[in-house]
Structure 1
């Protein structure tokens, strides 16, 4: 790193909120550099070695990149396409765009070329930042198809030395240009810190696109700053956190919880070497704040179960003795009941022999604040981690609200709610059962889509599209999407997602699509979890050759049948699932069956599996299904499978 730009001259030279805090993310970086310049802001693992950036160095690099991007032509109000996994350079480029009153528009790194243009519709993005050669190749294909981006800036130079396409630049070259400008233009550094205004977009994200083309969701600096301030007032965030930035950069959870909170609360943001090493790196980091989707927690639980199964007989006996008792004690705590002296002794001994070592194995020994959100979490998974001493809680939010609307607090954790509204957030439920939210963290409207904006915002309230209700004590219960409220042939109303989430509480099921709108009965297409179900099969000495083979084994059908029967026990008679089929593959985002955030696209699924859906309702016991598959290189093929259809019974 070059010598950092002096932050001393920038003290209080940035936009501030009414309480004196930084009003923009760029101001947050400058404030950190001025007040804690030697404190580590970023850590990134590279070839096994943790590299560190202080806040002074971060400010230096952000301003250098901003000056360099401006020379390349990045204008105020323009989008900067960003694609790649979590990298310090990616985050610095995002902040540099903010300094120019432009904004980053991150794209999921696994989006295929054919869908890329959908994520470049707004903000006229003519400059893109790519992590590596793979993403540069995608952007070059997009350029051939659409004419944009004309300039591609890359971080990892491996494999790119021989590229001769015009407009390709190394990120370090852009920063070098910027440094030259900063040396030649006195006052430019302070000017760059001061340009961004609270009302400027800080990021352009995209909705999940479950019902069509993803909508552009611009979040302003005011939205992000307000949302994080609300969360801090509620005790959900604290200053000087140790964060682990591994979530997809195009997800609101990463921008707000990793970058936004990291900057505004002066955290240390740790970045894994690769996604494949994230679990190993997590153990080395041991963050104080950890956010993961329910499926990630499920995978973590499966990892523990697999590890215990492969451990010594003594460890297995200890686990089998302590964990059921720990979970039972956690149920008592959540119910407000006191533990007996014997239970407290067992709990104390269990923390030394089992719970503590498992937390260390997972890298969560210091996770004082652990959250999950995005969809419902299985009761068994939730209780398991809380029984370990990890104070896991649910939160509720959407991209349009900076993901920060409601959350549970310690002492108010209930399995069926998402907690109360955060400070600074108003939540109500209208006469149709739709959840409405009002806060400064709520966005101002969709990009270039006034009709969608008018539908979503009314008198300052965001219509979330979620159905739910408020309990008497202010706790919010979320049932599912209002748009997914459907009726059976006999007029029974239900929300498929609500039933699907309860089925997915089982670690053996990764995805499920419940059918029944306009029909006499409910049926289901089930996608097993290959890791958890595979381990289950191996323990029972059941051989299989592939996901498809495993899914069709009679024993696996009986396993899934048991899960559905358990869910049926709490369903009204008219809403019990009668028949189901195990799919030969998981639903795939590349096939358009789910979004990049793993939400079902029901219309696509019913179209893709129309023959299978018919078989679920016409009494067939088997169906020969020809599946269209998309390979990694974009080519397609057809796979023929014979699938069995089972009655749930019971």
Structure 2
């Protein structure tokens, strides 16, 4: 479709993802649907090839007994076949249930026990072993379909079959039954499940969220109307498949608007693959944008004097110009004159190194992004924007427009999305993208869906010109002993604007003052220490260096400067370890499980509020060989 026609294009979300796939195969059969990096070479699949594969695998699955409302586990990192496996499940009206590749067996078993799981799609041997372990734990997984056969030649478990073999069986069946393809395409309707995702589980077990084809495609239509993406975008499919943002953008928008979906070789090669692909659309969490900025800063530290001088000249000017824009002012004459030279000498080469040269739509979401990071990319020429969404609303609620961004808002609600603010200050959403309720959880559904409105659980307000401000989780609104109201997550996000802080837990509920437990970013702080000749042996050792504690204190002071006096942090402790998802301290999407953290670190918290200068801790350490030991460390309680 020509871009001029695409700009006027709209569609009825009362369809399904398989129907859109079939339409793409007919309209642009030779268009590139997927690229997969395999052993250093990009392998392409066209829309016609993808449609043929999906039909064959779906036929094979149906022949092996997969039916409506049965579960299909998806285990592994991003792979085209795992994505297509989810589409096949949706074609049969089954539940496609992706889980995080590093999820523990207990976490996967929680998902597997919600429905009758008949099939598991597994990326490789490691994930096959996980599926077999689930069988031993009581999960009734009759069929395990694997993608990568390496290491599986000697496996004799019943129901274990390769993707290639299953696809061949399906092709043979399609050859025998000419009418089968149309029959399969007609099985699912727009209200049938497209994907079965789970909430982050910050306050308990993750809740099941079944999103229909209509939900997903309503969200896509709303976002497209607002200019989030256009036809024919090139995207890098690297986000966890168990996160709604990946499915909504990669498969939902990808199928509806015929994206070229590029799958990296592995997670470790994402940044390298990003440069090779140079996508036109890119969504990343604030931490990812921070990491890329850190990479630039580290390389500049090791550069020549001339390059440092040019970088300082042009980037300082561009950053100053961008800050003027944020204040509603025009760049100065000197800033406008320097821009084209800076683009040639500095900004262009940096964007080329990062893979951002073709980027038209750049987004950040999940939490607030640091001002310095945000302004840097805007100054670089990347029109970075904030996006606000939730699992329960198919990832799309509000979005900033390219030329109307503000640091404290998430933009305006998308077309097709209604927003209200409850008397309690909670953001309420109404849209076709909103789910119908938590899976087999009527109590949670009643609390979340009332009179057609999704109660997001987020506190916020709408400004006079329609911009939405999100303050944090409403349930996390707490009070100090003096009655001062605050949201810990709001302060935590601002602390994490510092590249030296990876995670943080703000304390103070019912207390006379606020304090924090801080986890350093080992890579960034380690590089900072090396440049200054500060030696260290481990994360725990580095975290307690007096120079590092002072570095963190400076970051705390910067945040305190923008907080009212009663809500300023008075003390903090640099922890000896990161918060860990395997320990239950954070979710797989790195959201803090506050109750777990406060319980586990209660001796540290009590020491802070008792006025101690330090606190001893003993931690269990699991070494690479599997042996378990203990580590003792004295943590300093720093006063700000």
Structure-1-length-normalised TM-score: 0.95
* 1:30 and 2:22 matched: yes
Farther off after superposition, 597-606 or 639-648: 639-648
Which residue, out of 274, 277, 291, partners 2:269?
A: 277
Distance 1:420 1:636, change over 3 A: farther
CA shift, 1:637, in A, is: 4.5
Alignment pair present for 1:197 and 2:197: no
Which residue of structure 1 aligns with residue 3 of structure 2?
A: none
Partner of residue 113, structure 2: 121
Residues 235-254 of structure 1 show CA distances to partners (whole Å, capped at 9, x for unaligned) of: 11101000110000100111
CA contact 1:81–1:106 (8 Å) conserved in 2 = yes
- Which residue is equivalent to 1:409? 401
Asked if the contact 1:207–1:399 (Cα under 8 Å) also holds between the matched residues in 2, the reply is: yes
1:629–1:143 Cα change, 3 Å: farther
Residues in 2 aligned to 1:207 and 1:630: alpha-carbon distance in whole angstroms: 29
Say if 2:132 is the partner of 1:140: yes
Please state how far the C-alpha of 1:73 moved relative to its aligned partner: 1.6
Residue equivalent to 1:9: none
Pairing 1:440–2:432 present? yes
Measured after TM superposition, the shift of residue 114 of structure 1 is 2.7
Are positions 1:328 and 2:320 aligned together? yes
What is the aligned partner in structure 1 of residue 4 from structure 2? none
1:352 matched to which residue of 2? 344
Cα distance in 1 for partners of 2:14, 2:37 equals 29
1:629 CA displacement: 4.5
Q: Which residue does 2:311 correspond to in 1?
A: 319
| Residue in 1 that maps onto 2:157 | 165
Displacement after TM superposition at 1:400 (Å): 0.4
Residue 606 of structure 1 is matched in structure 2 by: 598
Q: Kindly tell me: are residues 632 and 101 of structure 1, through their superposed partners in 2, closer, same or farther at Cα, counting changes over 3 Å?
A: farther
Deviation at residue 143 of structure 1 after TM alignment: 1.1
Q: Is the 8 A contact 1:83 1:130 kept in 2?
A: yes
Residue in 2 aligned with 1:472? 464
2:230 equivalent in structure 1: 238
What displacement does 1:65 show? 0.7
Is 1:498 aligned to 2:490, yes or no?
Answer: yes
Distance in 2, matches of 1:75 and 1:84, equals 23
Q: Is the contact between residue 58 and residue 88 of structure 2 (CA under 8 Å) also seen in structure 1?
A: yes
Take 2:19 and 2:624, find their aligned partners in 1: how far apart are those partners?
42
Range with bigger deviation, 358-367 or 192-201 = 192-201
1:312 deviates by 2.1
What is residue 69 of structure 1 aligned with on the other side?
61
Partner of 2:293: 301
In structure 2, C-alpha distance between the alignment counterparts of 1:229 and 1:399, rounded to whole Å: 17
Alpha-carbon distance in structure 2 between the residues aligned to 1:637 and 1:401: 44
Displaced runs of 4 or more, over 6 A: 631-635
Q: CA deviation at 1:102?
A: 1.3
> Cα gap change, 1:213/1:414 in structure 2, threshold over 3 Å: closer, same or farther?
same
2-structure distance, mates of 1:421, 1:240: 24
Aligned twin of 2:6: none
Within a 5 Å distance, the mapping from 1:72-221 to structure 2 comes to 72-221=64-213
Q: Following the alignment from structure 2 to structure 1, what is the Cα–Cα distance between the partners of residues 360 and 222? A: 19
After superposition, the C-alpha distances for 1:4-55 in whole angstroms (9 at most, x for unaligned) are: xxxxxxxxxxxxx994677110011000001001101000110011000000
Contact map agreement 1:513 1:525 (CA 8 A) in 2? yes
From 214, 235, 241, give the equivalent of 1:249. 241
Following TM superposition, by how much is the alpha carbon of 1:116 offset from its aligned partner in structure 2, in angstroms?
Answer: 1.7
Q: Please, which of 254, 265, 285 is the counterpart of residue 262 of structure 1?
A: 254
Q: How far does residue 549 in structure 1 lie from its aligned partner after superposition?
A: 1.1
**What is the deviation of 1:564?**
0.4
Output the CA distance in 2 between the equivalents of 1:125 and 1:641.
45
> Are 1:590 and 1:630, in contact at CA under 8 Å, matched by a contact in 2?
no
Conservation of the 8 A alpha-carbon contact between 1:591 and 1:629: no
Give the structure 1 partner of residue 51 of structure 2.
59
Determine the C-alpha separation between the residues in 2 that align with 1:111 and 1:534.
28
Deviation at 1:265, TM superposition (A): 0.5
CA-to-partner distance for each residue in 1:116-152, whole Å, 9 max, x for gaps? 2112233321211110111111111111112332321
Structure 2 unmatched ranges of 5 or more: 1-8
Contact kept in structure 2, 1:591 and 1:630, CA below 8 Å: no
Which residue does 2:518 correspond to in 1?
526
Against the structure 1 CA distance between its residues 631 and 227, is the aligned structure 2 distance closer, same or farther, given a 3 Å change threshold? farther
Q: 1:634 Cα shift?
A: 8.0
Q: Deviations over 1:571-608 (max 9, x none)?
A: 12211111111011110000000000000001110111
Unaligned runs of 5+ in 1: 1-16
> 1:511–1:527: 8 Å Cα contact kept in structure 2?
yes
Aligned CA-pair RMSD: 1.5
Bigger mean CA deviation after superposition, 166-175 or 445-454: 166-175
- State TM-score, norm by structure 2: 0.97
CA distance in 1, matches of 2:376, 2:624: 37
Contact map agreement 2:10 2:221 (CA 8 A) in 1: no
Q: Is the 8 A contact 1:63 1:99 kept in 2?
A: no
SS at match of 2:241: coil
